[in-house]
A = this chain, B = another copy of it.
Amino acid sequence: MHGEILPGHALTLRGIGSEFGVSMTPAREAVRRLVAEGALTLSSSGRVATPELTNDRIEELAALRALIEVELSSRALPRAHMALIDRLQAINNSVAERVAQKDAVGYIRANLDFHRALYLRAQAPAMLAMAETVWLQMGPTMRQLYGKLRRSEPPHYHRLIIAALKAGDEPGLRLAVRSDVTNGLRLLAS
């Protein structure tokens, strides 16, 4: 999910097992779960690797993020108190820090923390699980792309999200979330 593994990287059951000090059996179960969630791909011969997403697939996943996360933010809005906004502010500072340090994995992790903190307020566990499944599928690709972007500025739309939350502005919040989710990915698919 955090892009620690690049797209197309192959994994072996015995390798995972020895990496975590267990036998093949638990490694197999973990891999099977991640394959079911789309975080790993299973070749016809049973080999396992991180997915290499096509542009079409990236566009699809971005559209899914927009659909689900806009809804989640909309449901979180009426429950968002000052404590949450402060927390989002703090996480956003952490995001900016990672950007300044050019720490791609840390940036992705902090960015997702920002979104998760907001969506948790929606009290919609099934929707949040869906969103995280999408994140999981995009993890390796996001890392690769943010590595290419070499962005130096902190995310612009996060401040718009916070502002809309403060103002209780639902249309503005929906637009800001949709923009934040799609803009980062739209330009890399081209």
The residues of A with any CB-CB pair to B shorter than 8 Å are: 25, 28-29, 32-38, 57, 60-61, 63-64, 67-68, 71, 124-127, 129-130, 133, 137
CB-CB under 8 A from A137, the residues of chain B are 126
Indicate if the CB atoms of B32 and A126 lie closer than 8 Å: no
CB-CB under 8 A from A29, the residues of chain B are 28-29, 32
Minimum CB–CB distance for A139 against chain B, Å: 14
Interface of A is mostly: helix
Indicate if the CB atoms of A127 and B71 lie closer than 8 Å: no
Q: A36-B37, A67-B67, A71-B67 are in contact. Are A130 and B130 (CB under 8 A)?
A: yes
Task: Tell me the complex Cα distance, A57–B127, Å.
Answer: 10
Indicate if the CB atoms of B33 and A64 lie closer than 8 Å: no
CB-CB under 8 A from A36, the residues of chain B are 32-34, 36-37
Q: A29-B28, A29-B32 are in contact. Are A38 and B71 (CB under 8 A)?
A: no
Minimum CB–CB distance for A68 against chain B, Å: 7
Indicate if the CB atoms of A64 and B28 lie closer than 8 Å: no
Task: Tell me the complex Cα distance, A25–B133, Å.
Answer: 25
Partner of A63, one of B63, B125, B127: B127
Task: Tell me the complex Cα distance, A64–B36, Å.
Answer: 19
CB-CB under 8 A from A127, the residues of chain B are 60, 63-64
Task: Tell me the complex Cα distance, A178–B159, Å.
Answer: 33
Minimum CB–CB distance for A182 against chain B, Å: 14
Minimum CB–CB distance for A129 against chain B, Å: 7
